[in-house]
Amino acid sequence: MSLFCLWESLDLRGVLIFLFLLLLMLDTVKNWKPRNFPPGPWPVPFLGNIFNIDSKQPHIYLTKLAEDYGDVFSLRLGRSVTVVVNSYKLVKEALVNQADTFSARPFSPLADRITGDLGLVMTNGHMWKKQRRFALTTLKNFGVGKKILESTILEEIRHLQETIEEEQGRPFDPHFIFNNAVSNITCCLVFGHRFEYGDGHFQKILHMIFESMYLEGSIWATLYDAFPTVMEFLPGGHQKVISNYEQITAFLREEIKQHRQDWDPSAHRDYIDCYLGEIEKSKDDVEAGFHERNLCYTTLDLFAAGTETTSTTLRWAVLHLMKYPQIQEKVQAEIDSVIGQARQPSMEDKPNMPYTDAVIHEVQRMGNVAPLSLPHMTTEDTTLGGYFIPKGTEVIPNLTSVLFDKNEWQTPDTFNPGHFLDAEGQFVRRDAFLPFSAGKRVCLGEQLARMELFLFLTSFLQKYTFSCPEGVEPSFKFQVGLTLSPQDFKICAVCR
């Protein structure tokens, strides 16, 4: 009997079974693991391990999987196989020792839907290198990592303190006023101006950024990346992400439009002005991607990432200080001894304040704001931890496993500033302290974040003592998206 006759003899049920088996076979062949590939949990056909992951605490789930499969294991998320790297030793091996091999970003249909393969965070190749180098140079020229930016940060702190003092020690939620304050530092660098805390439109933008970064780390984003053609037409959190970023980019395009209207090539006031100048200079290097669409998305990356991570760290800091009042008092004693009450803090004070510096570092370690970093991709065949990882494999560096590595930290699950102090009480740098990731994709805003955290926290504790509302205990319950943030809580800030 010919194949055609056999096909005609099948009923509908037989056809469906045949098609299912065909698709199953194609799915198996497509995702066949090469020899000596990292092991992992058995995937469900078509879906992989998507629904195995604990969506409420994926970083903890992935860390525990390492106990069963080793520090290098694999998961199948929809149509792609991902390798998860755990422990300081192996994350360093990948991101630092093999920096070039692990320096790329994988293709993300959701990110592509939002930015069209533009921006600073998810791009690759020549364009990424040119855009990142330009951003680093420009931000440095505007004072990032230098004393000249201090005045901008301290001025914003003054505005924030005025808002805090309006509460007169009553309980208030610090979430979005912290967001506004931190975002204003980035806004001054990028837009050349700040936004008042009562600006309703800007507050709406900040809420959309927070919501989008939460949803981008949810099952909705994973499903969209796995099945973009189908998910594009289905309702869910991914649609909210797309809608939010359309409104955020409209806000950014308006800022760019205003800059273009009064742009003076000889007077660069901020990042946007400098970028407009670079567009003119780089007309012959089309692949570098200097044009107004990319200006919008590089600005989006600076604006979003520069707001959420640092303000979230500040909220974790206040939570820990309320939980451990004796640590808060010790920091205040060091502030009083080194700075006093007559002047504002300065970055020049930092070397003389080892305990305060240690507390800030321990907040970053325990806060674990970027628990799974952002995904990387291998640019060539390589080996890691004894396993073969082919070119084009998506890799997740599990920073949680680094910041809580039992081989690197004396008391990894306890808030202990002593992790960063020697026997004489002097500050000690720790190699396994990687909250900003490492290697060629290390956080672009690390220097700015370090300045902000030191100046904000020392300014806070110079003027206030933080406590919980009466009858309330600090809660360390969290919510996980692209960042790990505390659930909303209220604080009392009492003037000292």
Mean pLDDT by 10 residues, the chain (496 residues): 52 63 57 85 80 89 95 88 97 98 96 95 96 95 84 96 94 96 96 94 96 94 92 95 97 95 87 94 93 96 89 97 98 97 94 98 98 96 97 97 97 97 96 96 94 97 96 94 96 95
3 state DSSP class of 107: coil
Q: Which amino acid is at 264?
A: D
Question: What's this model's pTM, rounded to 2 decimal places?
Answer: 0.92
DSSP 414-430: S--GGGGB-TTS-B---
Pairing, β 478-480 against β 464-467: unpaired
CA pair distance 121, 111, nearest whole angstrom: 10
Question: Position of tokens 């079974």?
Answer: 17
Instruction: Judge whether 167 and 486 are in contact, CB under 8 Å.
Output: no
Whole-angstrom distance, CA of residue 305 vs CA of residue 246: 17
- Fold classification of 31-495 is Cytochrome p450 (1.10.630)
pLDDT at 156: 97
State the Cα–Cα distance between residues 361 and 429, nearest whole angstrom: 9
**CB of 438 within 8 A of CB of 341?**
no
pLDDT of residue 484: 96
Confidence (pLDDT) at 21: 60
Show the tokens assigned to 400: 């949680």
Q: How far apart are CA 177 and CA 174, in angstroms?
A: 6
Question: Residue 421 corresponds to which tokens in the numbers above?
Answer: 């102090």
The length of the chain is 496
Interior/surface letters 260-269, b for 16+ CB within 10 angstroms, e for the rest: eeeeeeeebb
